[in-house]
């Protein structure tokens, strides 16, 4: 992976002993000066201790550091789990000379197991010593669970003659479903912004990207997406024109990360864009795109390269949206499979099967009722998905 960082920040990743075989499992983001902060968190009612703690602290709009561990979610761990989350932030604050409330924490991994705090405590000094300004790769690797590759993206933009950078790192692979935020995602920028402007940009960006992907339909207890702004570039984004320019770059980073997350999903062999158009309302389009993108029958058909269009229409029909079966049209890329609610015949099915052999393609369902439209990135379900999750704790 190309080496890069974000001005105003240092990052690190080390092996603390939570994972086997020396794999990186403890990461850190450090803002060299006080940074503006925004966050989006899971809406799952079962929330991990680090989510609860970071949500409270991020509401203050300021942050100096984020510590993250993989392998253990620190969720459903009671009062001890909250003490451990606070202890992790305290260790970083002490090592870097910060106030404890300036440090956020995130965890990902197995639910219900106590954190091995003795290993984390021993590793924090080494973690802080490992901080570098020009490479987020170790941080990205330290967050990985069933991911097969690290995910990091950098984009640049300009506002009023001043250049700015946005860097994002993310992990996912499983338990991915759109609901506020998905997985762990950390974004850094050297732009200047108020906490309100930063939160608005993050919420908008997440809605356009991470909220439009699914792998297995599960929303995690630990979903966290943070955006930190160091301001060292001097590029202010609080005016309308600058805000739009920043949003465009942030959206680009988030969508790139979203595509990488789906492509690296557990057992994934195909990335599929599900597009619904012609709905009476956008809400109806979203209901249908959600039903199709999450249907196990549809997703297994994608894996089997089976142009089983009936499964797609059946999923659409149970979505609770306005729909006239006799107006439906369905396409696999540009191959029309269904016209007026009926199949287009063997030749069309053969052409659609060829589309399904590709690593990435688009399924478009036109309802023929109105202007409502929605889109979501999904994937296939393979036997490897079952194997990975059956063996997850072993």
Which of 11, 77, 145, 182 is the catalytic position?
182
Kindly report the backbone phi and psi dihedral angles of residue 285, in degrees, each rounded to the nearest multiple of 5, phi listed first. Answer: -60, -40
Which residues have C-beta within 8 Å of that of residue 198, sequence separation ≥ 6? 36, 37, 38, 61, 227, 229
**DSSP structural state of residue 374:** E
DSSP-H helix ranges across the chain: 49-58, 78-96, 117-129, 137-142, 195-208, 240-263, 282-294, 296-303, 309-317, 346-356, 383-390
Q: Which two tokens stand for residue 24?
A: 């990186």
Strands 62-69 and 103-107: parallel
**CB of 163 within 8 A of CB of 191?**
no
What does the H/E/C string look like for 224-290? Answer: EEEEEECCCCCCECCCHHHHHHHHHHHHHHHHHHHHHHHHCCCCCCCEEEEEEEEECCHHHHHHHHH
Active site residue 182: yes
Tell me if residue 375 falls in helix, strand or coil: strand
CA-CA distance, 26 to 254, in Å (whole number)? 23
Taking each continuous run of H as one helix and of E as one strand, the counts in the chain are 11, 14
Q: Give the active site residues.
A: 182
């Amino acid at each position: 992976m190309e080496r890069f960082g974000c001005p105003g920040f240092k990052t690190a990743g080390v092996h603390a002993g939570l994972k086997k075989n020396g794999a990186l499992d403890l990461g850190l983001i450090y803002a060299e000066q006080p940074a503006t902060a925004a966050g989006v968190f899971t809406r799952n009612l079962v929330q991990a201790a680090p989510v609860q703690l970071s949500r409270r602290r991020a509401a203050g709009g300021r942050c100096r550091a984020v510590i993250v561990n993989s392998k253990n979610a620190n969720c459903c761990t009671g009062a001890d789990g909250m003490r451990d989350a606070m202890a992790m932030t305290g260790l970083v604050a002490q090592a870097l000379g910060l106030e404890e409330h300036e440090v956020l924490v995130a965890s990902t991994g197995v639910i219900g197991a106590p954190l091995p705090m003795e290993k984390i405590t021993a590793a924090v000094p080494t973690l802080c010593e490992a901080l570098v300004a020009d490479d987020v790769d170790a941080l990205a690797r330290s967050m990985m669970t069933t991911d097969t590759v690290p995910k990091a993206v950098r984009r640049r933009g300009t506002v009023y003659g001043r250049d700015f950078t946005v860097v994002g790192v993310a992990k996912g692979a499983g338990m991915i479903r759109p609901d506020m935020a998905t997985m762990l995602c950390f974004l850094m920028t050297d732009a200047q912004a108020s906490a309100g402007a930063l939160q608005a940009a993050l919420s908008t960006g997440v809605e356009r990207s991470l909220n439009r992907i699914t792998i297995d339909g599960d929303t995690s207890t630990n979903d966290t997406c943070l955006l930190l702004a160091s301001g060292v570039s001097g590029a202010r984004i609080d005016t309308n024109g600058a805000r739009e320019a920043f949003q465009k770059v942030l959206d680009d980073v988030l969508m790139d990360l979203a595509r990488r997350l789906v492509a690296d999903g557990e057992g994934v062999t195909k990335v599929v864009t599900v597009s619904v158009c012609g709905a009476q309302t956008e809400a109806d389009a979203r209901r249908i795109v959600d039903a199709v993108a999450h249907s196990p029958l549809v997703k297994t058909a994608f894996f089997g390269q089976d142009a089983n269009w009936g499964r797609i229409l059946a999923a659409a029909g149970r979505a609770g949206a306005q729909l006239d079966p006799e107006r439906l049209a369905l396409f696999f890329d540009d191959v029309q499979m269904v016209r007026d609610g009926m199949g287009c015949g063997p030749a069309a099915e053969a052409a659609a099967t060829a589309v399904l052999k590709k690593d990435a393609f688009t399924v478009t369902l036109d309802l023929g009722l109105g202007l409502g439209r929605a889109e979501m990135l999904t994937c296939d379900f393979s036997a490897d998905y079952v194997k990975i999750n059956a063996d997850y704790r072993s």
